[in-house]
Structure 1
């Protein structure tokens, strides 16, 4: 049972004992009573005082009033004492709350989640500054200071020189958390900071959803701890109009574009250093097997079943990738190991579970060629950077940007088409759905729920309009036949 739950537990199971006398000079008269199996007692200097207190407790019990198990007080007295205590305590500032909240959740969450919490709370911090505070400090520095301040390890370290002014402003000039609940203008400012970037442009849909979800959870935590009475963000309609998490069709590559992009990757960098060539298979597992980048980083040779090439006249065989871990990239301050790559189980699955993904012969051939050329990296991993270390996000992003410039016509380079390596996964999932693979099977292979697949990709599946039109035409014809 948490401290918050303990403070809130009441019981009607109350027994009040008779007053007893002890051999003590100062307070010889003892009153004892039991609430929910827990004994409480008070000592008094005179018997009339003891009798008076016993009568008060007895009357509360006769009224059917519940008693607080921990303190033994009737509920009315406990509430009055709690209200008095709340009035006496200074309000909890947003700055102090964010530090305490992140410290409470830090041990149980992954590095990427820690980084996401810091980013979301820092974005909202700008809405919680008192009017006129930090007017000479740029917003970007305030956000950086807010992100730095919530890392538990930083609380015992000196503030970096470039963040000192911003940190001082945050520590002394953030509003109480209760202002989010009590001041509609503050709540509107919080919603604005969730939905817009520092330059005033709307934030990306997924960024908005992640930040809102994080702040929502934080305010639930504040409500559970009695800092606020309820989470006011839940009273606002969730989700921004026009955004439901659908994949933008403009990012999807067709088969020709996909092959051209993979070929262009091999031309990035010098042939000797093989900066691009060693990542062709890395992008291929996203394009042909719908892996997430963090899953590709953690892929090992032991997780791969790669059949031998087919003999003349034999059909090429499918292989299997058995995914067991992900290696998401985070800053060193967010991981327990102090390394940039966290080591986690599969997303949205138990830590010990795996996910087998069948792979087509074309990907089997690409992976076998990759192993012949580059072998395996440390720990049996398939992919490594030029130094033999884990492939970082900056590495595969830079190579991808150069490959797009080589593969796409100039007028398409600035378009959303395959703008991110992750868009290769979107293209693969869409291909499977258009091929008629059931949504449940697609969801199993890619590690999502069927609901997520349907919600995010329903606008990318071709042929639905024609099929629907054919059914309506037949229905109209049938009505005409019976008229």
Structure 2
């Protein structure tokens, strides 16, 4: 930088590669680099932060450009849960729902994407949070880390969250604290000091809320008579793929004929179907096209079973095209 070499030491090559990726992304965005420290502005803001609120805001700005839409949404969701818990006891605490909405819509976004017209109640809630936020150094105490971990195990209604939700939010918190360690704002990740286990939750599916085969056939028959002429067959094919092929809604919407494999007279979805991006506030304009399925661990990949033989042909842009009947499966009821 300006003819002077800058260097930084990491314990592992993975950490060094992550740091190098952040620097390259900052240069690609055209960020200014500080001549004295050699750091880009986004990193410098995080390093200069003195409160958890300011550090998290800088972290989101750093992470956003090279994160997928669903990852952005997960980061925003988790940090909107953690930040209100890491505050001092001050009068005038806003309502929890107002505080969460203000964070999700107006703070946990890069500055360029924040809405200019912030409602008064959201502005007041954010001003309170900014003043009540704990210092970043307070996270060295295990009791403070527990304040951040405990809300991860609860849903918005106060009931126990699922194991996957707890795991996902804890991973975001861990990544934020690892970033603080990288910037030498914390000596070590304080999460490792806490012997915290999320409360056990029941993952058993209630059979009363699961559709049985007879109800599924009745639903598909009813869908065939809903909507405009010509649209009902596409809806029927969509719900047939979701039920019989165990596809997610996003995979079904993005399913095209070229995403399927044929076997004899039957047609089934290929395991590498497409998923649309996440919510509007987390999606860039160039990400409006279909993208690959979510990352999976090495080993056997999630392979949806062959689609049900929904005899609901449509044009090439439809969700499903003329899936023929496969032996042993009941036929989809057709509209009379």
Same fold by TM (over 0.5)? yes
Residue 166 in 1 paired to residue 125 in 2? yes
1:278 to 231, 234, 238: 234
Q: 8 Å contact 2:234–2:319 — kept in the other structure?
A: no
Residue 175 in 1 paired to residue 131 in 2? no
- Indicate the structure (1 or 2) with the bigger Cα radius of gyration: 1
Give me the CA root mean square deviation: 3.6
Residue 155 of structure 1: CA displacement? 6.1
Q: Which residue in the other structure is 2:7 paired with?
A: 6
Q: Which residue in the other structure is 1:468 paired with?
A: none
1:267 to 197, 215, 222: 222
Q: 8 Å contact 2:82–2:152 — kept in the other structure?
A: yes
Q: Residues 276 and 234 from structure 1, CA distance in 2 versus in 1: closer, same or farther, beyond 3 angstroms?
A: farther
Per-residue CA deviations over 1:171-192 (Å, capped at 9, x if unaligned) read 332112221222x432222122
Q: Residues 7 and 344 from structure 1, CA distance in 2 versus in 1: closer, same or farther, beyond 3 angstroms?
A: same
Residue 190 in 1 paired to residue 148 in 2? yes
Q: 8 Å contact 1:111–1:342 — kept in the other structure?
A: no
1:236 to 194, 215, 229: 194
Residue 128 in 1 paired to residue 52 in 2? no
Quote the Cα distance in structure 2 between the aligned partners of 1:303 and 1:287: 18
SS at match of 2:59: helix
Q: Which residue in the other structure is 2:99 paired with?
A: 142
SS at match of 1:99: helix
Quote the Cα distance in structure 1 between the aligned partners of 2:63 and 2:48: 24
Q: Residues 107 and 91 from structure 1, CA distance in 2 versus in 1: closer, same or farther, beyond 3 angstroms?
A: closer
Quote the Cα distance in structure 2 between the aligned partners of 1:174 and 1:347: 34
Aligned pairs for 1:49-448 (under 5 A) are 92-135=50-93, 137-148=94-105, 149-154=107-112, 157-161=115-119, 162-182=121-141, 184-237=142-195, 239-243=197-201, 247-251=203-207, 257-268=212-223, 271-273=226-228, 278-305=234-261, 317-328=265-276, 330-337=278-285, 343-348=290-295, 359=306, 363=308, 365-366=309-310, 369-371=311-313, 374-377=314-317, 381-382=319-320
Q: 8 Å contact 2:260–2:269 — kept in the other structure?
A: yes
Give the gaps of 5 or more residues in structure 1.
11-70, 72-88, 308-315, 384-483
Residue 304 of structure 1: CA displacement? 2.8
Larger RCO, structure (CA 8 Å, separation 6 or more):
2
Where is the strand percentage greater, Structure 1 or Structure 2? 1
Quote the Cα distance in structure 2 between the aligned partners of 1:159 and 1:125: 22
Deviates more, 1:224-233 or 1:287-296: 287-296
Per-residue CA deviations over 1:58-113 (Å, capped at 9, x if unaligned) read xxxxxxxxxxxxx9xxxxxxxxxxxxxxxxx9762111111111121112221011
Residue 121 of structure 1: CA displacement? 0.5
Give the gaps of 5 or more residues in structure 2.
1-5, 12-35, 37-46, 322-336
Residue 116 of structure 1: CA displacement? 0.8
Quote the Cα distance in structure 2 between the aligned partners of 1:96 and 1:123: 16
Q: Residues 226 and 155 from structure 1, CA distance in 2 versus in 1: closer, same or farther, beyond 3 angstroms?
A: farther
Per-residue CA deviations over 1:417-471 (Å, capped at 9, x if unaligned) read xxxxxxxxxxxxxxxxxxxxxxxxxxxxxxxxxxxxxxxxxxxxxxxxxxxxxxx
TM-score, length basis structure 1: 0.50
Give the number of aligned pairs.
276
SS at match of 1:319: strand
